[in-house]
Structure 1
């Protein structure tokens, strides 16, 4: 019996893809790639200083306007705040029904707020609503302090996550987006952060709410109204985050899903909410008029499995770490492509949930057009003595 797997598994599956023109798919989880040259001749988002439009699954850029320009992101900063909250929930470090005690520091935040009081306790679920719907600065700081102990340490976590996402043009000084020196991002980087946040599909259960109440039925009942009006007035929009300061002007990172295609549009530096919403609507109109996607795999879909005699779970399922799609211009003829699944050599026990064990590639001829990590969805440990004895005994019959 071997301590290691020395295994390369290659699976070729016929899938449909573009025969004429190009196919677009994501190459790396943590960046967006530029594939669509037609957008260079377009004149969209004319009211905004900077803008970008991407398709979420592939990460491909459908439109770009000064997307690398460093600008203050205002409350779009809270996209990163929500990303770290969702990660903490996924890791079991936080639960939606947990009651968080509000500090004097959190309660003292100015700007947009849900008027938390020092010493008040509110559930993570309601605080998330306060951040996602009303852009509550007080709620953001309360959650930052709960996760990291202080907002300062939480900001360090934010900037570490920026590095993990491979972003070079973002630096955070707080969890809220309130004006601060050396607090900046770009349309491109905000799109990547939004892409990462949308891996947590439950987040749109919050960002899509147009109105709700906190402390409902009490004398301190507070009416939440979404600062992103497009969730009500543009079909398919279900998030993500607005922003405004005098310096940043009006900003919005929006996401919409229609016909199985999810897009992300980011604009910064518009002079009014009307112009901001108009620019985002124009970008989304362009995406859904010109492009289609074809889903290949859902997130966490099992694509293969392997037998592992020395593991406590003998049959190990291997799943996709993210959804996998191809993107193509509407009206394009489709031909066949292949998908290849490669399992890493020398995988060692134990394996933690989420460990990358291989790659799924979408290929067209000799070209790799998409590459997605394959992971295990549960902890895999060494088999105990009884399990090894039982398997050895069964092998004789």
Structure 2
């Protein structure tokens, strides 16, 4: 007599064993399939390489990348080709009519050259040099320091204060002499007091210029008199001169003190012993010439010609104009004409705008991942922008073109860890990189392994309550 099979939940034991055997066959088939796929990928047969949080950089370079570029229309919605050509002609005519051989109109906040004429050509800069001398003295010295005139300082040519060797002055007083009357002896006395010698102070000036971001500047003297050393001729480009003034009026920790000195109409003082009295008047006519003018410095030598650098604030904008070789004797007022033209152009054509949009990043599919949607369900991970989302507002003109270039992979390969960089957003202005940020995954996604699948299948199998 046949032994009666035991049933569990109505399923005979033989049937249960058959189901279990089928599952085992499926598991081993899946393992063989995955092994074959891995072999195909290793031999280059698989075209579907995807980006993984663990693959080397050289693998990432072979990853298929999706690029999206959003190009903005120029700021003026009503712009036509004819209008653009007219504006280009206006710019060319303005630059042609400038007296200066080198000129730069610069956005002081960003340092961007908005309009330039041979703005990267290095030329002698005369007493515009003294803005660097002044800001170094403010940052490294103490206004109450006693400065004693040396024979070298006393020997400086006019324009000079008229110091006597051994005469002492307070540093704070000499800064007005330096910036209002452009006294050459005061510049040398300040340099020697702070650094010990003029060559040492010139080294400080060059270091500071490099710190500010100048690449077209070489300082030899603290007063701007024509000079030369082993490093070259005392010279600068209009673009870098504007960059230094931008630093002096906006970013220096002593910007307020710099502005107070350069805006002072008249200043009187005496030497430290009170024996001699001196008076200085501000010769920067630009301060009365245009509303919003906040600072400036003139200069002249035989090699440099007339030079000028000035700053103006209008609404929330700060413009700097730098002029080099702007006429010689009998052309003393050319610098004021050129400065007005460039400042008026900047105020008329440039304004702050949020030109870059924050890109919307779609979810990225993750292959071979553990899914919440079943054993072989699909997973897509959210991506977010890490750090500053966009460069923010920037001073732009009518014909500036802003773009965002988004580079993210079409798919990822598990495992992926939260915070892993998987792409980049690059912000461009007129084709040049202005800023960038990373795109990172928001959550961790585990890899779907054979062991994980087997465990899940076992869980599903025993849910039948065998």
TM-score band by shorter chain is 0.5 to 0.7
The aligned runs of 1:87-106 (5 Å cut-off) are: 87-88=139-140, 94-106=141-153
Q: Which residue of 1 aligns with 2:395?
A: 327
* 1:184 corresponds to: 235
Higher relative contact order (CA 8 A, sep 6+): 1
For 1:170 and 1:19, how far apart are their aligned partners in 2?
36
Is 1:48 aligned to residue 100 of structure 2?
yes
In the alignment, the residues of structure 2 paired with residue 215 and residue 269 of structure 1 have an alpha-carbon distance, to the nearest angstrom, of 35
Distance (whole Å) between structure 2 residues aligned to residue 21 and residue 222 of structure 1: 55
Alignment of 1:1-397 (within 5 A): 20-21=73-74, 41-44=92-95, 46-88=98-140, 94-181=141-228, 182-198=233-249, 199-200=251-252, 201-202=255-256, 203-215=258-270, 220-271=276-327, 272-293=331-352, 326-329=394-397, 369=434
Gap regions ≥5 residues in structure 2 = 1-70, 77-86, 355-391, 403-424, 437-466
Scaled by the length of structure 2, the TM-score of the pair is 0.55
User: Would the aligned equivalents of 2:156 and 2:184 in 1 still touch at CA under 8 Å?
Assistant: yes
Shift of 1:253: 0.5
**1:273 match: secondary structure:** coil
Paired position in structure 2 for 1:391: none
Paired with 2:320 and 2:127, the residues of 1 have a C-alpha distance of: 17
Give the drift of 1:117. Answer: 2.4
Higher helix share: 2
Deviations 1:98-149 (A, max 9, x none): 2222222212211222222222222222111111111111111111111111
**How far does residue 58 in structure 1 lie from its aligned partner after superposition?**
1.4
TM-score between the two structures when normalised by the length of structure 1: 0.63
What is the distance in 1 between the residues matched to 2:346 and 2:304? 26
Deviation at 1:364, TM superposition (A): 8.7
Local SS of the residue matching 1:76: helix
**Secondary structure in structure 1 of the residue aligned to 2:158:** coil
Instruction: Give yes or no for contact 1:250–1:276 (8 Å, CA) kept in 2.
Output: yes
Matches of 1:38 and 1:20, distance apart in 2: 21
What's the RMSD between the two structures over aligned residues? Answer: 3.7
Q: Which of structures 1 and 2 has the bigger CA Rg? A: 2
User: What displacement does 1:362 show?
Assistant: 11
1:39 is displaced (CA, Å) by 7.8
Q: Please state whether the residue corresponding to 1:244 is helix, strand or coil.
A: strand
Query: Does the 8 Å contact 2:426/2:433 carry over to 1?
Result: yes
The 8 Å contact of residues 268 and 279 in structure 2, kept in 1 or not, is answered as yes
Distance 1:362 1:135 in 2: 45
Task: Please say if residues 100 and 123 of structure 1, whose CA atoms lie closer than 8 Å, have aligned partners that are also in contact.
Answer: yes
Equivalent pair of 1:211/1:223 in contact (CA under 8 Å): yes
Q: What is the SS of the residue equivalent to 1:255?
A: strand
Distance of aligned partners of 1:37 and 1:125 in 2 relative to their CA distance in 1, 3 Å threshold: farther
Q: Write out per-residue CA displacement over residues 62-119 of structure 1, whole angstroms, 9 at most, x where no aligned residue.
A: 110011122110111112212322331xxxxx22222222222212211222222222
